Amino acid sequence: MPEQFFWGVEVVLNGLMAGVLYALVALGFVLIFKASGIFNYSQGVLALFAALTLVGIMDGQVPFAHLINAALGTEIHHFGWHLPALLAILLTALVMVALAWAVQRFIFRHLVGQEPIILFMATIGLAYFLEGLGDIMWGADIKNLDVGLPQGINATIDEVTYEWFGYGFFIDNLDISATLIAAALVTLLILFAQYTKQGRAMRAVADDHQAALSVGVSLNFIWIMVWSLAGVVALVAGIMWGTKMGVQFSLSLIALKALPVLMLGGFTSIPGAIVGGLIIGVGEKLFEFLIGPMVGGATENWFAYVLALVFLVFRPQGLFGEKIIERV
Amino acid sequence: MKMRLTAAALAACMAAGPALADLVFPDLSYRTGPYAAGGIPFSDGYRDYFTLVNERDGGIGGVKARVIECETGYNTEKGVECYEATKGEGALVYQPLSTGITYQLIPKVSADEIPLHTMGYGRTSAKNGEVFKWVFNYPANYWDAASVAIKYLLDENGGDLSGKDITLLYHNSAYGKEPIRTLENLAEKHGYNFSTIAVDHPGQEQKSQWLQIRRERPDYVIMWGWGVMNQVAIQEAANVRFPMENFIGNWWAGAEHDVTPAGDAADGYKALNMNRIADYPVFDDIQEHVVDAGLAAGDGSNVGKVLYTRGMYAAMLAVEAAKTAQEIHGTADITPAMMRDGMEALEMTEARMEELGMPGIGPEFSVSCSNHGGSGGGIVQQWDAAAGEWKPLTDYIQPDQEVIQPLIEEDSMAFAQENDISLRCNES
């Protein structure tokens, strides 16, 4: 078979893997939008904050060290421990739950009943606040994140495909891990939503706030739970992207990769986020491979949005989004 | 009583305002945002050197230097705001550490008559002092860097690059596109096959680009990156097993934080540098007079790093230019116009750098009316992951002015024509 074909297959496989990484970010948006109707602008910053906190806890970094040292004249920077990755991840998840409580307690509890645009603006404020808080807590330098996930070409796939086709396919071990973790995460989220009391309450709130309230569902609790789940999803996304590029402030920009996924998959569907991510990942990689060289390359960023717009023309609610019918 | 009140009010106003004798050096820094990892060490080095000069030497020619820091976030609009907010303080020279901000400031500094120094970035053709009276880019510029990289590869290949495949992986911006023309002209001269691959801002996802490199297997990849693009590119190069010794970044892709996220996999990666990294005696002075005295801009952990050293080098060049200006005009209290004269008469010799406690930190060069760009020399350094440090591989390599100079002439003359600028430096 021609070499071009194998290259194309390799591009598609890598596009699928990249799509999973995009979907991980998009999932956080979906969870919050589905339960509260809030488009959470701060989801990318949540991933950054989670990753910063994880590295800080793992490396025993003293939060707010600069402030403490400046105020007390001390020279304390580290606690002197290095925690195992799993324990650090659990502790970071607890921090994200605490953050969810704080967000609900101090911001959204005061904005119940406000217009969606007001809630959206509040998340913009939250994004800038969290970015600044992360900077003050953990510093702005680039941090290495190593939770034991393998990186680099998968030698087995390379060797086997070379033996079969005479061309060794490149698949990144980190992408394989991300795919497995994302699959597990989505399965758990779906099981949680379908088979647990809290999950059913979350779906009830998503369907109709007032009806859910009338049958005794606590909106406050559900929103804290949803923000916590979004925080944990952000932590997973932060781990994947942080392992790949180091934990740094540009990590918050991964949200830009999630927007076309949401436009395509719909803002209210968990499977939509996954399928949308895969379509965007494959679409942008194939376009770059086939058309990119003719137009000077670097097409991925804008093509993802073009692809999403094309889908929007035919399905404004996205592939899996709920069609909104308002009767007057 | 009324007189006494007026006198007291006047005294209070004078006390509240800036000291007239201060020499003001604005620091358009970026300590926040996606590019903070590069902006912080540079700004620390820049500020710490001025603090050192104040503490150890009592200032420049007896006059204290005052650094006004303004956060740009590497954002062009904020950079211009910072310029507007600080120029009235008597700013002597601006070093914005951003090509985008530089392009916006060129017409402004020319109108306001304040020098702009863009060391290794900004508008390359500003080297032509006949056109750009207020802009300086010594000791080197982007086109020098491109030529230094090719000269190094020529040395590596016994002076012959014909038939070799060289790919430029570049940030898809005005900055990233800067070296393309120079590398194309050098390809014509030396016979290598040149191709380009663009990476969109910010560069977090480069799978397509590195799959292309894996397929095409160029002999060398030269990178023009900044920020997260660098870390991802180095990691992806390791992922596709591209030989690190054949991967060369420019001097904005050669700091410690560019390589450390990839860990051991980054071992052997090379980068250009316009300032050599070493354990300079001046660092002992900074430790004693600045860090230990609690006057450092940061916590002192960046001292000696690539971008800290570059920031310190930038400040040193500003201080030396100010001293030259003081000598020329016979006054310690210099104006921006006098500072410009000092910059245009600046001469950096090895002896002077040694005297300042930083031997060999930069190339020897002298600035003149027509040459605002210095000698253009750069070194190649290599990352040693085990030791966790950059090791210089070469001495300062001089760029190929035969190729660069005509490009500078062409671009600067076009600018002069567009902006109706009459040429200087033809007094004789």
Average pLDDT over residues B174-193: 95
Residue A188 has pLDDT above 80, yes or no: yes
Residue with token string 């420049």 = B60
d(CA B408, nearest CA chain A) in Å: 25
Q: What is the pLDDT of residue A140?
A: 87
Q: What percent of chain A has pLDDT over 90?
A: 66
Contact A18 B205 (CB under 8 A): yes
Burial label, A281 (beta-carbon count in 10 A; 0-12, 13-18, 19+): buried
Do residues B388 and B239 both lie within one domain? yes
In this structure, the answer to whether residues B324 and B249 fall within a common structural domain is no
Q: A194 in a domain, yes or no?
A: yes
Residue-level pLDDT at A268: 87
Sign of the torsion formed by the C-alpha atoms of B286, B287, B293 and B299: positive
* For chain A, the helix, strand and coil percentages under 3-state DSSP, each to the nearest 5: 75, 0, 25
Q: Has residue B4 been placed in a domain?
A: no
pLDDT given for residue A1 in this prediction: 59
- Per-residue pLDDT tens digits for B112-137: 999 999 999 999 999 999 999 999 99
Confidence of residue A296 (pLDDT cuts 50, 70, 90): confident
CA B205 to each of CA A262, A301, B75, B196: distance values in angstroms, whole numbers, following the listed order: 18, 9, 22, 17
One domain for residues B161 and B295: no
Chain A: residues touching B (Cβ < 8 Å): 7, 10-11, 14, 17-18, 66, 69, 77, 131-132, 135, 140-142, 144, 146, 151-153, 170, 172, 241, 244-246, 248-254, 257, 284-285, 288-289, 292, 296-298, 300-302
pLDDT band at B201 (very low <50, low <70, confident <90, very high): confident
Q: Which residues of chain B does A132 touch, with a Cβ-Cβ cutoff of 8 Å?
A: 32
Task: Say if residue B264 is in the same domain as residue B289.
Answer: no
Choose the mutation target among A55, A136, A245, A305 for the interface with B, i.e. most B CBs under 10 Å.
A245
pLDDT, average across residues B398-427: 93
How confident is residue A113, by pLDDT bands cut at 50, 70 and 90?
Answer: confident
Q: Is residue B233 assigned to a domain? A: yes
For residues B315 and B411, state if they share a domain: yes
Among A115-124, B205-214, B337-346, B418-427, the least confident range: B418-427
Per residue in B276-320, pLDDT (tens digit) is: 999 999 999 999 999 999 999 988 889 999 999 999 999 999 999
Q: Is the pLDDT of residue B1 over 50?
A: no
Residue A154: what pLDDT?
Answer: 95
The mean of the pLDDT values for chain A is: 91
Residue B13 has pLDDT above 90, yes or no: no
A57 pLDDT exceeds 60? yes
A294 domain-assigned: no
Provide, as residue numbers in chain A, all residues whose Cβ is less than 8 Å from the Cβ of B238. Answer: 151-152
Confidence of residue B15 (pLDDT cuts 50, 70, 90): very low
The range of the structural domain enclosing residue A124 comes to 3-256
Task: Judge whether residue B20 has pLDDT over 80.
Answer: no
> Is the confidence metric ipTM above 0.95 for this complex?
no
Q: How many other C-beta atoms lie within 10 A of the C-beta of residue B4?
A: 8
CATH of the domain at B289: 3.40.50.2300
The per-residue pLDDT for B21 is 64
CB < 8 Å to A257, chain B: 204-205
Residue B6 domain flag: no
Q: Please give the pLDDT value at position A207.
A: 78
Tell whether the model's pLDDT for residue B12 goes beyond 70: no
Amino acid identity of residue A188, one-letter, is: L
pLDDT at B59: 97
Quote the DSSP letter at residue A172: B
Same domain, B269 and B159: yes
Do B240 and B384 fall into the same domain? yes
- For the cut 80, the answer to whether the pLDDT of residue A291 exceeds it is yes
Q: Chain A partners of B207 at a C-beta cutoff of 8 Å?
A: 14, 17-18, 172, 285
Q: Is the same domain home to B245 and B184? A: yes
Q: Please report the pLDDT score of residue B419 as a whole number.
A: 93
Cis peptide preceding B218, ω within 30 of 0? no
Given a cut of 70, whether residue A324 has pLDDT beyond it is no
Mutant choice from A13, A244, A252, A300 vs B, greatest count of B C-beta within 10 A: A244
The pLDDT value given to residue B381 = 98
Comparing CA positions, the residue from A198, A176, A169 lying closest to residue A21 is A176
Specify if A179 maps to a domain. Answer: yes
Range of the domain at B182: 142-276+379-399
Average pLDDT over residues B176-194: 96
**What pLDDT, in 10s, does the model give residues A189-234?**
989 988 999 989 988 887 787 888 888 889 889 999 999 999 999 9
Identify residue A91 by its one-letter amino acid code. L
The Cα of A248 is separated from the nearest Cα of chain B by a number of Å equal to 7
In a domain, B424, yes or no: no
- How many domains is chain B partitioned into structurally? 2
Phi first, then psi: what are they for B3, rounded to 5°? -60, -45
Domain assignment present for A297: no
Cβ pair B222, B164 in contact under 8 A: no
* Sheet with B270-273, edge to edge strand ranges: B193-199, B165-171, B220-224, B247-249, B270-273, B379-384, B389-392
Q: What is the pLDDT of residue A219?
A: 87
Among partner residues B208, B209, B261, which is closest to A245 by beta-carbon distance? Answer: B261
Same domain membership, residue B174 and residue B60: no
In a domain, residue A319? The reply is no
Instruction: Give the confidence band of B16 by pLDDT, cuts at 50, 70, 90.
Output: very low
- Does the structure show a pLDDT above 50 at B9? no
pLDDT the model gives residue A210: 82
d(CA B83, CA B168): 33
Tell me whether residues B204 and A18 touch, CB distance under 8 A. no
* HEC readout, chain B: CHHHHHHHHHHHHHHHCCCCCCEEEEEEECCCCCCHHHHHHHHHHHHHHHHHHHHHHCCECCECEEEEEEECCCCHHHHHHHHHHHHHHCECCECCCCHHHHHHHHHHHHHHCCCEECCCCCCHHHHECCCCCCEECCCCCHHHHHHHHHHHHHHHCCCCCCCCEEEEEEECCHHHHCCHHHHHHHHHHHCCEEEEEEECCCCCCCHHHHHHHHHHCCCEEEEECCCHHHHHHHHHHHHCCCCHHHEEECCCCCCHHHHHHHHHHHCCCEEEECCCCCCCHHHHHHHHHHHCCCCCCCCCCCCCCHHHHHHHHHHHHHHHHHHHHHHHHCCCCCCHHHHHHHHHCCEECHHHHHHCCCCCCCCCEECCCCECCCCCCEEEEEEECCCCEEEECCCCECCCHHHHHHHHHHHHHHHHHHCCCCCCCCCC
Number of domains within chain A: 1
Q: Does residue B100 form part of some domain?
A: yes
Tell me the average pLDDT across A301-326: 83
Give the tokens for residue B196. Answer: 């380009």
Reported as a pLDDT band with limits 50, 70 and 90, residue A297 is: confident
**Do the domain assignments include residue A186?**
yes
Whether A82 contacts A61, CB under 8 Å: no
- B196 contact residues in A (CB cutoff 8 A): 297
CA torsion through residues B235, B237, B238, B244, sign:
negative
Residue A328: inside a domain: no
Question: Which residue has 């950054």 as its token pair?
Answer: A48
Res. B42 pLDDT band, cuts 50 70 90? very high
A288, part of any domain: no
Q: Give the model's confidence band at B2: pLDDT under 50 very low, under 70 low, under 90 confident, else very high.
A: very low
Same domain, yes or no, for B194 and B162? yes
Same domain for B338 and B395?
A: no
Contacts of A5 (CB under 8 A, 6+ apart): none
Of A186-200, B139-153, B232-246, the range with the lowest mean pLDDT is: A186-200
Identify the pLDDT of residue B5. Answer: 46
**Residue B60 confidence (pLDDT):** 97
- Do both B189 and B135 map to the same domain? no
